[in-house]
Structure 1
Amino acid sequence: MERVPHGSEPEAAGIDFSANVNPETPPGIEAAFQGSFADARTYPDDTAPAYRRAAADYVDVDPGQVVPTPGGLAAIRLALSVTVSPGDSVLVPYPSFGEYAREVRLQGGTPEFVPHDELLDTDPSGHALAIVCNPNNPTGEAADPDRLREFVAESRAADTPVLVDEAFLGFTDQPTLAGTPGVIVARSLTKLFGLPGLRAGFAVSTGSLRDRLERARLTWNLGVPAMQVGTQAMRATEFIDRTRKRVRQERAQLVATLEDHYEIAPSDAPFLLLEVDGSVADLLAAARERGIVLRDARTFRGLDAHVRAAVRLPSENRRLEEVLLDV
């Protein structure tokens, strides 16, 4: 299987708008990371009780429903490993996160691609799994909560589990589906808390699905630094509220400034998808020359004239506006 292209250029000169990562981190996180060193010299507690409790409080479920994973993608792979067998078909949205199709194929399954805005109207019968990205990446819109729950009910009736990737839901005020029967929720801590290299996340499910996830996960799959830093981050409620407010205000400002020059997809996420009238390659190169790194969204299935830009800090966003209005 080929690797899937992603954003993020740590060594890039300029401001990296290609990865949807919070440019800020919760207070005290660096000290928590440094303080984890001594405990990291022994094997971690495989039950991760404090981490599970923090995650449970974070999404309002019982700690027993939480399955720790090293990042959201690990939760996605774990979910597919216990639901998809060779020859199975899986409903996969597009354009959306490219790893879904790759992970389905790695399990021997076949992705059945459905437009992301039509997936909730698709019959889930006969599929081993249905995948929903909420909010969808790279378009940015969150699913209607009532329609999403209706789809979950339809899927349960069809005996089709639903995997809901909530990697960016923490940036919004939208309700989580964590703890909903028939659903596996995948959560990532690294984006909202600005720590993509930490690799911390978790899955949430109930009943037999939860039991299968817990039995299948790797032993010691979450390191001590990820446990301790993640536990503290998930309790940083003031930081979360402040981040949501900033993202909401800055996203609205970016749209108001750029909408007369670009077609912008409606977004509830910390990023915007822009349709380019002209050469995407030329825009990417011109922006890079002026210190702005954008995500080439042509790598997403179904897109051929788009770039994606993260919503960052106010001063950085003003620079993005300046460059995009001038290239």
Structure 2
Amino acid sequence: MNRETAHGVGPVTHGSSDDPDLLDFSANTNPRTPPGVDEAYETALNAATSYPPEPPSEYREAAAAYVGVAPEAVIPTPGGLAAIRMAIGLAVEPGDSALVPAPSFGEYAREVRLQGGTPAFVPPAEITESDPGDYALAVVCNPNNPTGEAIDHGALRAFARRCREGDTPLLVDEAFLGYTDRPSMAGTEGVVVARSLTKLFGLPGIRAGFAVATGSFGDAMENARRPWNLGAPALAVGSHAMRQTAFVEATRTRVERERRRMRETLDGRFDVRESATPFLLLDVGDRPVGPLVAAVRERGIAVRDATTFRGLDSHIRVAVREPEENDRLLEVLLDV
């Protein structure tokens, strides 16, 4: 990244609401947090008069157990996006091209452009069928945001093998994988996995995440990591959250049940995509998206205008929240 490329690349629109008077279905984070996070944060805050441990061994061990890898493969980062930025920064040079899914999380393409590279957009469902040999990096979001689709694990492993054969690093963003029982790609040779604690644990403000990478690329990421890049509260709360297996299982069960119920209710009014995530993508057809979003907002609910995603001109995205909150959303969407 240099000053010239940074001047030429603007921010990505994320679109979540910060209005406390609205019931927020625009953000895709868990409305619940694991038990005990308050106590973990308070204890860590009292210890924050000193630098956090370096390297952060406890956090690494918790993350390693969470995804089933050796602790030395874990690179702690302040959120999943920091892991994504580090991987793209090490893989992409000016003039390179990177394989990027679209519609998907807009920060992938932005980070590629910040490095002076060019994103080559491919539909998420087709990216594992692509030839990665001509690219400096391939990116997969699994499950994909905002469409909600999950990639078959066998197809993803086969794609990772072709990436290795072409000497192309593969970055897999698993921000929403914890909502499923699908296996992680963490620890796979030639693959960098980015994980966030924002979504599943409902802690976007903590800014805790990690990457998993092995081999020479993993060594480069570990060397590039800044010391003390997570504060004491983020390390403590993150370590605690990743050990809450009962919370994870309960969340998966609740979200799956509510997502199915919401999809069945809305599918007669909208074209609703199947999803493995805590959100649903709705095609509103010929109705203008802006006025629809505004009408829902007037009823006290924020939904995500998904037209800011590449290739989605008639869509909104809605989160899966608590059952009684979901009832309210369904009532409004069926009425506007």
- Return the TM-score normalized by structure 2: 0.96
Q: How many residues align?
A: 327
SS in 1 for 2:125: coil
Q: Verify: 1:51 aligned to 2:59, yes or no.
A: yes
Does structure 2 conserve the Cα–Cα contact (< 8 Å) formed by 1:52 and 1:63?
yes
Q: CA–CA distance in 1 between the matches of 2:210 and 2:184?
A: 14
Tell me which residue corresponds to 1:297: 306
Q: Verify: 1:310 aligned to 2:316, yes or no.
A: no
Deviations 1:218-269 (A, max 9, x none): 2211111000000000000000000000000000000110001100111000
Does structure 1 conserve the Cα–Cα contact (< 8 Å) formed by 2:104 and 2:310?
yes
What amino acid is the match of 1:182? G
Q: CA–CA distance in 2 between the matches of 1:44 and 1:150?
A: 40
Q: CA–CA distance in 2 between the matches of 1:32 and 1:298?
A: 39
Does structure 2 conserve the Cα–Cα contact (< 8 Å) formed by 1:14 and 1:292?
yes
* 1:6 paired residue among 4, 9, 14: 14
Tell me which residue corresponds to 2:242: 234
Tell me which residue corresponds to 1:322: 331
Does structure 1 conserve the Cα–Cα contact (< 8 Å) formed by 2:102 and 2:123?
yes
Tell me which residue corresponds to 2:170: 162
SS in 1 for 2:249: helix
Deviation above 3 Å: which 4+ runs of structure 1? none
Deviations 1:66-119 (A, max 9, x none): 000000000000111111111111000000000000000111111111111111
Tell me which residue corresponds to 2:109: 101
Tell me which residue corresponds to 1:138: 146
Tell me which residue corresponds to 2:218: 210
The CA deviation at 1:38 is 2.1
Q: Verify: 1:25 aligned to 2:54, yes or no.
A: no
* 1:264 paired residue among 254, 258, 272: 272
Q: Which has the higher mean CA deviation after the structures are superposed, 253-262 or 37-46? A: 37-46
The CA deviation at 1:11 is 2.3
Deviations 1:165-220 (A, max 9, x none): 00000111111000000000000001110110000000001111110100111221
SS in 2 for 1:90: strand
Q: Verify: 1:123 aligned to 2:131, yes or no.
A: yes
The equivalences for 1:172-251 within 5 A come to: 172-251=180-259
SS in 2 for 1:125: helix
The CA deviation at 1:8 is 2.4
The CA deviation at 1:12 is 4.2
What amino acid is the match of 2:62? A
Q: CA–CA distance in 1 between the matches of 2:70 and 2:301?
A: 43
What amino acid is the match of 2:154? D
What amino acid is the match of 1:282? P
Q: CA–CA distance in 2 between the matches of 1:177 and 1:16?
A: 31
SS in 1 for 2:317: strand
Q: CA–CA distance in 2 between the matches of 1:271 and 1:46?
A: 37
* 1:151 paired residue among 151, 159, 180: 159
Does structure 2 conserve the Cα–Cα contact (< 8 Å) formed by 1:12 and 1:293?
no
Q: CA–CA distance in 2 between the matches of 1:225 and 1:8?
A: 25
* 2:79 paired residue among 39, 62, 71: 71
Question: Kindly, what percent of the aligned residue pairs are identical?
Answer: 60
Runs of 5+ in structure 1 lacking a partner? Answer: none
What amino acid is the match of 1:31? E
Q: CA–CA distance in 1 between the matches of 2:176 and 2:207?
A: 15
Q: CA–CA distance in 2 between the matches of 1:148 and 1:191?
A: 22
Q: CA–CA distance in 2 between the matches of 1:169 and 1:39?
A: 32
Does structure 2 conserve the Cα–Cα contact (< 8 Å) formed by 1:124 and 1:154?
yes
Q: CA–CA distance in 2 between the matches of 1:236 and 1:10?
A: 28
- Return the TM-score normalized by structure 1: 0.99
What amino acid is the match of 1:297? A
Does structure 2 conserve the Cα–Cα contact (< 8 Å) formed by 1:132 and 1:165?
yes
SS in 1 for 2:64: helix
Does structure 1 conserve the Cα–Cα contact (< 8 Å) formed by 2:55 and 2:227?
no
Tell me which residue corresponds to 1:82: 90
* 2:122 paired residue among 103, 114, 131: 114
